[in-house]
Amino acid sequence: MSVELLSPAGNLEKLRLALEYGADAAYLGFSPFSLRTNAGNFTDADLDEVSALKERTGKKLYCTVNMLFDQNRLALLEDQLPKMKAWPFDGFIISDMGIVSLLRKHLGEDVELHLSTQASCTNSESARFYRQAGFKRIILGREATLDDIKAIKDKNPDLEVEVFVHGAMCMAYSGRCLLSAHLAGRSGNHGDCSHSCRWNYRIALEEKEREGIYYPIEEYEDYTTILSSKDLCMIDHLDELIEAGVSSLKIEGRMKSSYYVAVVTRAYRKALDKDPHWKDYREDLIDVSHREYSTGFFFGSGPIDPTKGSMITKKDYQQRTLFCGFIREQKADNLYRLELKNSIRTEHILEIIAPDLPNFALDDFILFDEEMKKIPQGDHNKPCYLRTDVALSDGYIIRRSLEVKPETPRKTMGFDGKSS
């Protein structure tokens, strides 16, 4: 069975990188409807480029229309749907059953429907209901276990099953959270989550018979991040997911950086293809910004062990490298224009990332400004050119180590949270 690798595309650049670095398909959306209002998203101005990319690659594109609609946004959707017909979408991801008739009215009765994880489908009877309603694919809630997936697929063999395999998780049930709306006036169900669950809180317990006596819950400096979930990482368990009947492996991250989309997609592509060096590519999952990794609910929760340090989630993102930018077009022999996102200096040892090559170091190079004068440092949003004898290509990624001594072998962090 051919299994799809599905990557996030928060904007046009991320879409290009997702497909170039190994995704079979990408999911994208329009600002008012896609549950990621701050992702950059797509506009009608992107139609020609997206259509050309689709034609050139032959890969699939899915449109996210997965918010829960109020009356005002429903009117906006009806205005937008006729325009969506021109886009080369292979399917539409929705969670609000009320818009099914609208999609069919404006896009045709045969429009391909995918049920969003927001609908919290985690059992075979719910899956059967949606299949009978005309859905081709179910994106299961993150609460579904491997056993749940097997049961759902066994009882609905003609239904495609998609699951998230990597990225952020929400502390609320399949993202149905009111915390952000209550504390910040920004609704997660309308794509404007303020990530209130990631904030530091001061929490205390008061026992009924001991009124006025408080027992604080503290993790860091008198505060706790007890509501902040770990990140999901299933790269070591893809075979188990496939054996359970999963058709599509989905990476979360339309709000993440272009660098994140590229290297995470590449790591899962190599693992899925059983590349002999896939574990080397897997190390990039530690290098990108992330929270502690876990396998989520796939293997069940099991009994709580209070002695395990992994019960506490570290409050900050972790990363070992800094994304510096991209190699752009070659201007002359051995001379390349750079698009920098962070500064680089001539004494830095850079690391170059390409779609189908192992990462390699670049330590012998010269930097120039737009007047071709040598400079010691290139900065974000300033013209910069790099000369080197190493062959480079447009789209290659530049990063550098954040560790004090990059020449020292780095400790490999196990994906169960343990060092090895």
Phi-psi region of 274 (alpha: psi -120 to 50; beta: other; left: phi over 0): left
Residues 191 and 306 both lie in one domain: no
Burial class (CB in 10 A: 0-12, 13-18, 19+), 325: buried
What pLDDT was estimated at residue 97? Answer: 94
CA dihedral 311, 123, 238, 234 (to 10 degrees): -20
Residues 164 and 193 both lie in one domain: no
Domain count, the chain: 3
CATH number at residue 374: 2.40.30.10
State yes or no: pLDDT of 68 exceeds 90.
no
Express each pLDDT in 191-223 by its tens digit: 667 777 777 777 788 888 888 888 777 776 777
What pLDDT was estimated at residue 319? Answer: 73
- The band of 167, judged by pLDDT with boundaries at 50, 70 and 90, is very high
Residues 96 and 118 both lie in one domain: yes
In angstroms, rounded to a whole number, what is the distance separating the alpha carbons of residues 307 and 318? 23
Give the type of residue at 165. Answer: V
Q: Which of 121-130, 204-213, 255-264, 389-398 has the lowest mean pLDDT?
A: 204-213
Residues 373 and 256 both lie in one domain: no
Q: Which domain holds residue 88?
A: 4-169+229-311
Please check whether residue 395 lies inside any domain of the structure. Answer: yes
Residues 101 and 245 both lie in one domain: yes
3 state DSSP class of 157: coil
Residues 136 and 32 both lie in one domain: yes
Please check whether residue 409 lies inside any domain of the structure. Answer: no
State yes or no: pLDDT of 417 exceeds 70.
no
Residues 158 and 206 both lie in one domain: no
CATH number at residue 147: 3.20.20.70
Residues 208 and 237 both lie in one domain: no
- C-beta atoms surrounding 240 within 10 Å: 15
What pLDDT was estimated at residue 406? Answer: 44
pTM (2 d.p.): 0.86
Express each pLDDT in 324-338 by its tens digit: 999 999 999 999 999
Residues 71 and 130 both lie in one domain: yes
Residue 323: phi and psi, rounded to 5, are -70, 125
State yes or no: pLDDT of 405 exceeds 50.
no
Residues 27 and 128 both lie in one domain: yes
- How far is CA 141 from each of CA 36, 177, 267, rounded to the nearest angstrom? 18, 14, 24
Residues 31 and 97 both lie in one domain: yes
Strands 248-251 and 160-167: parallel
Domain-ending residue, one of 257, 287, 311: 311
Residues 238 and 303 both lie in one domain: yes
Give 340's strand partners: 325
Contacts of residue 261, defined as CB under 8 A and 6 or more positions apart, other chains included, come to 7, 8, 9, 10, 14, 17, 18, 21, 251, 253
32 versus 109: the higher-pLDDT residue is 109
